[in-house]
Amino acid sequence: MPHPDAAATTAADYADWWRGAVIYQVYPRSFQDTTGDGYGDLSGVTQRLPYIASLGVDGIWLSPFFTSPMADMGYDVSDYCNVDPMFGTLADFDALIAEAHRLELKVIIDQVISHTSDQHPWFKDSRASRTNSKADWYVWANPKPDGTAPNNWLSVFGGPAWEWDGVRKQYYMHNFLTSQPDLNFHNAEVQDALLETVRFWLERGVDGFRLDTVNYYFHDKLLRDNPPHAPDSDSAGLDAPDVNPYGMQSHIHDKTQVENIAFLQRFRALLNEYEGRMTVGEVGDGARSLETVAAYTSNDDKLNMCYTFDLLGPEFTAKHIRDAVDGFDKAVTDGWVCWAFSNHDVVRHLTRFAEGVEEQARVAKLAFSVLATLRGSICLYQGEELALTEADLAFEDLRDPYGIRFWPAFKGRDGCRTPMVWETGQASAGFTTAEKPWLPVPYAHAMLAADGQERKPDSVLNHYRAVLKFRGQHAMLRDGDMAFLETQQDLLAFTRTKNDQSLLFVFNLTREPMEYLVPSGLKVGEVLQMPGFAPHFEGGVAKLDALDVFCARLA
């Protein structure tokens, strides 16, 4: 059964359960090890599902667990319909699904279909000759007369997006690692095969799919060069660091092609054969991201929702958040958004937002209070509910090919992927019994272990639970309207409304006390205390301390 303090309304109460849902992202290799090999596994996720349910979330998103040589930590798939032995077996996955559903948690899995591993049987067949049945399943092209690559396209992970293959005597395209060849979505047989792998997981009971790099599926058939990056017209997109020349191009030909619309409609048609299934797409398209999201979520026949990288950067200001939400609302008229401050690809948001150790707990509480009150669905990344910061790792500890490639200018993504911390005083904080986990467990993280925070009513962990309980008790926070209010200071103020019920929120994201005069057109009926905050209200004025929250029910 769900935790007794779970949200008053859950995903089960909504036909479109994903709309306004709270999703907890699990990075399986860093969540819980049950075999003692130093790597997390699916049985470990199952073991910890009651903890996840106790937060009051609606579901989980599992990062890839498919069979893979792990060149890119599982985002290089060699078998879409099986579990990598590192993570367990299909029986372990079925057990996870059963336990999640018993706890009324939805399960979303990562679908990485823009590319495969070069160890996938499809690619092995494709590279064998130019005439076999899968010869056209990947993006192959002849060299220019001087032997150079077919065009100027670049890889997100550095260098050209083309790799020479001596067997076929052609180049193949890879948007990411050279060991991650891109599938040729212009081939209908490729689309058919991929959709069958999706059906495989639908039949096993998954509730949804997070579509990795969803705008990277198609390429320009004519292989035209990308033009140079024009300021304010496009950007790197997939969080490519500025040390990477990828951002020097405007990526109008190597991704985000119009043909993707029809494929996403095919994907949705498949999901519609099953009840209550959903999709959320990852869109990294620079300045065009909102335009792309609008196209991919319109008319209720493609993706259910998307997320962009707007709130995954360094800014935590009222203006930035308002601009991001306003920008989405103006560009995406009939779609839905999924907001997040952290995930497995970016520096943890507490490191990005907090100015010093002494304010980390308060910033963690404030940031989550903001996220939980925005209009949209939200994703939490494992460990943020414990106030984990980015781990500072030595070069010899890195496993991320992205970080290794660009060290020391860019440290990569391992710092946000270190193991979860469960038990105070235990080796590796209870993550594993192995002598050495796959990534180190920082001492500062171990001091924030979940069991210690369970016992402290004012801990960040218990704050997350309280805020999600608050969110569940107010229907307008799940799918109600949102309207920003003008402020004279650096405050974030808005209302959330559903039917005839409205809440007012004011967030002081600064390090100075602030006052907010409630507009004359609004009447405060009841001051509501947001968990963890206690501002004063007198004479129509809310008095907020630094990093503070005011909430009221409007009459």
Structure tokens at 372: 């939980």
Phi/psi region, residue 36 (left: phi>0; alpha: psi -120 to 50; beta: rest), is left
Radius of gyration of the chain (CA): 24
Cα dist from 239 to 84, 400, 409, whole Å: 27, 15, 15
Residue 373 lies in a domain: yes
For residues 490 and 421, state if they share a domain: no
| Residue 238: per-residue pLDDT | 45
Structure tokens at 411: 């440290």
Domain ends where: 448, 471, 494?
Answer: 471
Q: Which of 266, 339, 345 minimizes the C-alpha distance to 306? A: 339
For residues 281 and 318, state if they share a domain: yes
For residues 384 and 490, state if they share a domain: no
Q: Does residue 41 have an active-site annotation? A: no
Here the CATH number for the domain that contains residue 540 is 2.60.40.1180
pLDDT in tens, 336-388: 999 999 999 999 999 999 999 999 999 999 999 999 999 999 999 999 999 99
Residue 129 lies in a domain: no
Are 103 and 57 in contact by the 8 Å Cβ rule? The answer is: no
Structure tokens at 242: 């500025």
Residue type, 60: I
Residue of 58, 76, 182, 212 marked active site:
212
For residues 257 and 400, state if they share a domain: yes
Owning domain of residue 518: 480-554
For residues 500 and 531, state if they share a domain: yes
DSSP letter (8 states) at residue 154: B
CA distance 425 to 548: 33
- pLDDT in 10s for each residue of the chain, 555 residues: 333 333 455 565 667 999 999 999 999 999 999 999 999 999 999 999 999 999 999 999 999 999 999 999 999 999 999 999 999 999 999 999 999 999 999 999 999 999 999 999 999 999 999 999 999 999 999 999 999 999 999 999 999 999 999 999 999 999 999 999 999 999 999 999 999 999 999 999 999 999 999 999 999 999 999 999 876 544 444 445 577 899 999 999 999 999 999 999 999 999 999 999 999 999 988 889 999 999 999 999 999 999 989 999 999 999 999 999 999 999 998 999 999 999 999 999 999 999 999 999 999 999 999 999 999 999 999 999 999 999 999 999 999 999 999 999 999 999 999 999 999 999 999 999 999 999 999 999 999 999 999 999 999 999 999 999 999 999 999 999 999 999 977 899 999 999 999 999 999 999 999 999 999 999 999 999 999 999 899 999 999 999 999 999 999
For 190-228, letters b (16+ CB in 10 Å) and e give bbebbbebbeebbeeebbbbbbbbbbbbbbbeebeebee
Domain ends where: 425, 451, 471?
Answer: 471
> What pTM does this model have?
0.95
Counting the structural domains of the chain, the total is: 2
Residue 242 lies in a domain: yes
Domain ends where: 438, 471, 504?
Answer: 471
DSSP letter (8 states) at residue 489: S
Residue type, 344: H
For residues 515 and 465, state if they share a domain: no
Other CB atoms closer than 10 Å to residue 40's CB: what's the count? 28
Structure tokens at 362: 């308060």
Residue 174 lies in a domain: no
For residues 406 and 545, state if they share a domain: no
Are 402 and 157 in contact by the 8 Å Cβ rule? The answer is: yes
Q: Where are the beta strands (DSSP E) in 166-277?
A: 170-173, 208-211
Residue 147 lies in a domain: no
Here the CATH number for the domain that contains residue 334 is 3.20.20.80
Chain length of the chain: 555
Structure tokens at 505: 């929120």
pLDDT in tens, 148-198: 999 999 999 999 999 999 999 999 999 999 999 999 999 999 999 999 999
pLDDT in tens, 100-156: 999 999 999 999 999 999 999 999 999 999 999 999 999 999 999 999 999 999 999
Residue of 203, 232, 273, 334 marked active site:
273
Q: Does residue 92 have an active-site annotation? A: no
What's the angle, vertex CA 375, arms to CA 373 and CA 378, rounded to 5?
A: 75
For residues 321 and 428, state if they share a domain: yes
For residues 378 and 431, state if they share a domain: yes
For residues 501 and 451, state if they share a domain: no
